[in-house]
Amino acid sequence: MATGVSSTKWNGGRESLDRAAPCGDISVSLSYEGKKPASEILAGAKAQTFKIWGVDEDTGKTANRLYWGDNLPVLRMLLDDEHVRGKVKLVYIDPPYSTNSVFQSRDQKDAYADLLQGAHFVEFLRERLLVIRELMASDASIYVHLDDNMAFEIKMIMDEVFGKEHFRNWITRRKCSTKNTTRNRFGNIADYILFYAKSDDYIWNRPFDPWNEERIADEYPYLDEKTGRRYKRVPIHAPGTRNGATGGEWRGMMPPKGKHWQYTPAMLDELDAKGEIYWSKNGNPRRKVFFDPGKGVPQQDIWLNYRDSINQNMVVTGYPTEKNLSMLENIVAASSNSGDLVLDAFCGSGTTMQAAYNLGRSWIGIDCEEAAVCSVLKRFNIGSEKMGDFVTDKAARHYKPHELLDERNFAQSLFGTCPFQFFVSEDKIGQAKADFKVKIPESDKRATLSDIAKKAVEPAIKAASLAVLAKVIS
Ligand SMILES: C[S@@+](CC[C@H](N)C(=O)[O-])C[C@H]1O[C@@H](n2cnc3c(N)ncnc32)[C@H](O)[C@@H]1O
């Protein structure tokens, strides 16, 4: 019945009474040990963060920002930021999936752990979703990427946090090439994206896929003899009875039982005169719908064209679980407009931020792992490498964290790529000092690295950096 025409009432008969839905609260919720009240979660500790590096705030527009720290206190801190609270138009998150594994980057280093299980995982994500919701504008959308480990549980949590009525799609994505599975089950090549809007009035720029010859021939299989145009045949009746003209006789025929004509008999005559009715050998009429390429094929909820890392020429950062950039561009284009603010609170290598930047949006990215932060810095300062280069080890030039913050890279990056601010949360400051060689003077914890570097580097580099800074800020 899934593809049939549905109704909320059983039509007529004595049985209709037995089939009436029972009244009362019919909502379904997930209960588990340790589920905190929403008020407690929202009132929890806020992060203190330090700006290490980056351009100054541009008046009127939220500057791109990368935060290194646990996202929950950072998100709570952003509740107090007038540039962010209620301003985020699009959220995409690709959190750990509860796979009980530790992921390594292409250079074989541990990048992040995905070890939370069951209720611990559910509550971990629920806490963040509740705060994220507060940061979102009323016309914002959120996409949550998961796999089959926890998608069902999190769908219920999303219904609770955002309202079941704001659920839009459960998108199935083909994530990889066909697997030669050795286990006694079907090869697993799908993961899932839950798409919710914050309200009924949300940004939506309908995405279209281009037509191709195979698809046109499949969907419009017939050729019109007179015009040579491709067409498909569709019924000229629809379910439900009518008392007016569309329920009456046309060319000596009544609509089939329980149905009505889709057009009045006069309009059906007109269509026939224009050659837009096909008559079968048995005299059954069907309407000809001619192929019109329009903008393309409206995109559906099964995505086959956004596999991750499928060929050696694809450019990647080398971060594990790095997502397909075109998929993120598709989401950003569909659910935000130019100049809007996009948030990814589990940003990994920064694919969402790259997509946002490519499409003229501002971004905020948060991640708690140094490997992720380094991937983002590298992506925007130095660029990504072809996947094949990781195999042949051409990409073996391993930058040390402090090299990624070097003013020379900063200077280079500002000419070609995306300027942004880099903040470190209090709990990571020790690591930042050791690995990024960041100096935070006790007297001025808010001093930026560029301030500090200006004092330290040779005059030529200092001059170049200042020139670049001036260019960006002006
Ligand atoms: C699946 S990866 C994201 C990959 C990303 N979409 C990309 O394209 O590169 C999940 C990320 O969530 C981060 N993460 C996990 N727990 C976090 C937390 N509490 N706060 C911030 N980031 C967290 C991990 O470090 C990891 O980088």
Query: Residue 371's domain spans which residues?
Result: 48-207+299-473
CA atoms within 13 A on the CB side of 341: 21
Q: Residues 309, 406: one domain?
A: yes
Cα–Cα distance between 361 and 382 in angstroms, integer? 21
Does 281 lie in the same domain as 319? no
Whole-number Å distance, alpha carbon 196 to ligand 1 midpoint, is 20
Contacts of 392 (CB under 8 A, 6+ apart): none
Same domain as 454, residue 365:
yes
Boundary of a domain, candidates 290, 325, 354: 290
- Note the pLDDT of residue 400: 84
Q: Which of 268, 290, 312 lies at the terminal end of a domain, its last residue?
A: 290
Q: Which of 267, 290, 313 is the last residue of a domain?
A: 290
Q: Tell me how far apart the alpha carbons of residues 217 and 298 are, in angstroms, rounded to a whole number.
A: 17
* pLDDT the model gives residue 457: 41
Ligand 1 mean position, distance from CA 327 (Å):
17
C-alpha of residue 320 to centroid of ligand 1, in Å? 10
260/243 same-domain check: yes
Q: Atom 14 of ligand 1 has which residue's CA nearest to it?
A: 346
Positive or negative: CA dihedral 268, 270, 271, 272: positive
* pLDDT tens-place values along the chain, 474 residues long: 456 667 666 666 655 556 666 778 888 899 999 999 999 999 999 999 988 776 655 556 778 999 999 999 999 999 999 999 999 999 999 999 999 988 887 777 888 989 899 999 999 999 999 999 999 999 999 999 999 999 999 999 999 999 999 999 999 999 998 877 788 889 999 999 999 999 999 999 999 999 999 999 999 999 999 899 999 999 999 999 999 999 999 999 999 999 999 999 999 999 999 999 999 999 999 999 999 999 999 999 999 999 997 677 777 888 989 999 999 999 999 999 999 999 999 999 999 999 999 999 999 999 999 999 999 988 888 777 777 777 666 665 677 888 887 766 665 555 456 778 889 999 998 898 888 887 654 444 444 444 544 444 445 445 555 554 444 443
Q: How far is the CA of 91 from the centre of ligand 1 (A)?
A: 14
Strands (E), 304-376: 315-316, 341-344, 362-367
What is the token pair recorded at 398?
């391993």
366, 368, 375, 384, best to mutate for ligand 1 pocket (most atoms within 8 Å of CB): 368
Q: Are residues 103 and 223 in the same domain?
A: no
**Are 203 and 218 part of one and the same domain?**
no
Backbone CA torsion sign across 266, 271, 274, 279: negative
The pLDDT score that the predictor gives to residue 287 is: 96
Same-domain check for residues 407 and 459:
yes
The verdict on residue 40 lying in a domain is no
Q: Give residue 27's pLDDT.
A: 84
Query: Do residues 309 and 373 both lie within one domain?
Result: yes
Same domain (yes/no): 203, 320: yes
Q: Are residues 364 and 246 in the same domain?
A: no
Atom of ligand 1 nearest to the CA of 71: 20
Number of domains in the chain: 2
**What's the pTM value of the predicted model, to 2 decimals?**
0.85
Asked if residue 199 belongs to a domain, the reply is yes
Q: What is the pLDDT of residue 22?
A: 73
What residues flank ligand 1, with Cβ below 6 Å? Answer: 70-71, 94-96, 112, 319, 321-323, 346, 348-349, 351, 366-369, 372
Question: Coil, strand or helix: which one is 268?
Answer: helix
The answer to whether residues 257 and 309 belong to one domain is: no
* Cα→Cα distances 231→88, 206, 219, 401, 412, Å: 44, 24, 8, 59, 55
Are 177 and 158 within one domain?
A: yes
CATH assignment at residue 154: 3.40.50.150
| Separation of alpha carbons 239 and 157, rounded Å | 37
